[in-house]
Structure formats: C-alpha cells, structure tokens
Amino acid sequence: MIVPVPDGERARWVPLAPPVQTSDGTLKSTAVACFRPNGRKHANAEHAFADGEGMSPNKTEFSMRFENRVVIVTGGAKGIGEGCCRVFCREGGHVAILDRDTDAAESLAVELTDAGPGTATAFACDVADHERLRGVIDDVATRFGRIDCLVNNAGVHPDATPIDETGVEDMERLMRVNYLSTFAGCKYAMPHLRKTRGTIVNMSSMTAVLGQHLSTAYCATKAAQVGLTKALAIEAGPDGVRVNAILPSNVDTPLMRHWAASLADPQSALARVAALQVFGRMASPEEIGRIALFLATEDSSFVTGQAIEAEGGASLDY
C-alpha cells in the first residue's frame, strides 16, 4: 500500500486499517505505517498502539521534535551515543555520527537513514585529535548549513586501577579523551551554535558527584565536564546558547561491560550494578538519548547550566 504525501509536507503516520472501538468507547488504531513525502514507506514504520492508547491526531504522525535540525554526536556509533543518534533521527533530525570506529558508524548511519524520518551521516573522528574534531565540526556545518546541537558523548572508562598504579601520563591521556575533547568540541562548535541559538549536551557521569572505587582518574575527568558545563552556560547564555550535562548512573553499554570485564567476577558485578537502581535494572542507551533530546529542544528552553542526574534512584535511601 503506497499513500503519497503532498509535496512540501513532512512524513506522516497513515492508518492501514479502520480503528477499533474498545469497550469504553475509545477508538484505537490497530495498524499504522509512516510514509515519506515521496510515498515510500519507512522501513521501521509498522506499529501497533499499546492497549488503551486511543487514536488521535498527535498519535497519527511523528512528533518530529528535531525536524530538519542538525546534531553532532561524538562517539555516536555505540552505547549511549548510539542511543542518542537513534532518538534524534526518529525525531526528524540530521545526525552527524562522529566515531573512530568508522565501520560501526557507517553501518548505523545506513540503518538510521533507511528507517527515517531523519538522516544520519558517519564522519571518521578520533576526538583525541582535536584538530580533526575541529575540521569535522566545520565540515558538518558546511554540509548541512547549520549546527543546532552538539552532544559531547565520546569517552573511555579505564580498567579498575588504584591511584598508586595510575601513571600521570595515563591521567593525561584520559583527560585528553574525556575532558579536553569536550572542551574542544564546545569551543569549535560555539560559532555555529550562536547562529542557531543552539544547545550543547555534555555526557558526564554520576561518578562526577559520587565517586567510584578504583576510578579516581575517570571520576576526575567527568567532574571536569560538569564544571565546564556550568561555566560555559554563563558565558553562552547571552548568545542564546544553552549548555547542560547528563549524569547517567549505570547504562547497559559496551563500555559498562568492558569495565565489568576488568573485575574478578564480571557477571556478579553487572548484577550488583543493576541492583543499585530502585528499578532493579540499568538504563538503556535510548533512555539517556531521550533526555538529550529534551535538552536539545524548546521543551527545556529555560534550562541551562544543569547537571541532570539520570540515575534511576541509585543515589536515594542514604
């Protein structure tokens, strides 16, 4: 079934079957699909509403909260970065996936573009190479004509290591990847973000405020991101640019599993980590991505300089 959408209109949800009336009189759609303006159906568009969700105008098309805007996500090929890319693309954004794993970035870009309604493009970038990061940011601005949001997500978590065994050179390398890349990304994106009155989202960690056993170097880099966020929010505010940070607690990502693998009993470690949240589980990458989307849109227009603790209640019950 092909249902063309008139030229100039955005992609939309189209019912594939008449709505069904439930026992309480609510009309519920049993099957819908989403079509691009040229009539091509999105690959991931078939959807059935959950029980109790009635048919209404705002249920029959994408919310498109980031339609035709441009976001850069560093470290976007996997983990939290991938979750951010998926959320922004589903909301109609043009997503620039920056990652040193070019194969993973390109594969994700193809998948997201095919699914729509937004698009994704992969850019090879190791954020430790700050001149390369600068060049890619400028390339994105040239290619799309604008930058609306920068998500500084790229980072590494070293193996659990006591401070006595952490070399100063190790700390310098970690600072370059986790913190200096965030500083550089903000610095080089600011001229473009001033033009769009855009936003910056820095992906920090709850370890910035709570600490973590045998992770002094990592925690220090994450705390530095929070300080940068607050100071830059003051500086950028008069230009209409908002700067916020997200502090996830425990997210089920490859980085989390790599950290657990450095311990004596990885499975027990992951179980303990999941139990820290009041929900008894870790967050998914897309849950963090939805917070990033909130901070990138007008929904958070009066929010800046904040460190949003996305921690599933892990810090409660002190």
Residue 238 exposure: Cα atoms within 13 Å on the Cβ side? 3
Task: Mark whether 163 and 277 lie in a shared domain.
Answer: yes
Q: Under 8 Å CB-to-CB from 67, ≥6 apart: which residues?
A: 10, 91, 92, 93, 117, 118
Same domain, 81 and 55: no
pLDDT of residue 6: 39
Whether residues 138 and 6 share a domain: the answer is: no
Q: Which residue range is the domain that position 77 belongs to? A: 70-310
Are both 225 and 200 inside the same structural domain? yes
Quick one: pLDDT at residue 62?
A: 54
Query: Does residue 275 sit within a domain?
Result: yes
Q: Is residue 315 part of a domain?
A: no
pLDDT confidence of residue 41: 45
Query: Given 61, 92, 110, which residue is the final one in a domain?
Result: 61
Domain CATH for 291: 3.40.50.720
pTM for the structure as a whole: 0.81
Q: What is the pLDDT of residue 149?
A: 99
Mean pLDDT by 10 residues, the chain (318 residues): 38 43 45 44 40 34 86 98 98 98 98 98 98 98 98 93 97 98 98 98 97 96 98 98 98 88 92 95 98 98 98 91
Check whether residue 41 and residue 189 sit in a common domain. no
d(CA 4, CA 38): 6
Same-domain status, 118 and 145: yes
pLDDT score for 23: 53
Task: Tell me, yes or no, whether 102 lies in a domain.
Answer: yes
How many domains does the chain fold into? Answer: 2
The answer on 112 and 30 residing in a single domain is: no
| Per-residue confidence (pLDDT) for residue 287, from 0 to 100 | 98
Task: For residues 34 and 107, state if they share a domain.
Answer: no
Domain boundary among 61, 88, 108: 61
* Nearest-angstrom CA–CA distance, 304 and 30: 41
pLDDT for residue 292: 99
- CA–CA distance, 213 with 298 (Å, rounded to integer): 38
Count the alpha carbons within 13 Å of 98 in the hemisphere toward its beta carbon. 27
| Domain contains 270 | yes
From residue 262, alpha-carbon distances to 69, 163, 270, 283 in Å are 40, 16, 12, 21
Whether 94 and 52 map to the same domain: the answer is no
Q: What is the pLDDT of residues 185-239, one digit of tens each?
A: 999 999 999 999 999 999 999 999 999 999 999 999 999 999 999 999 999 999 9
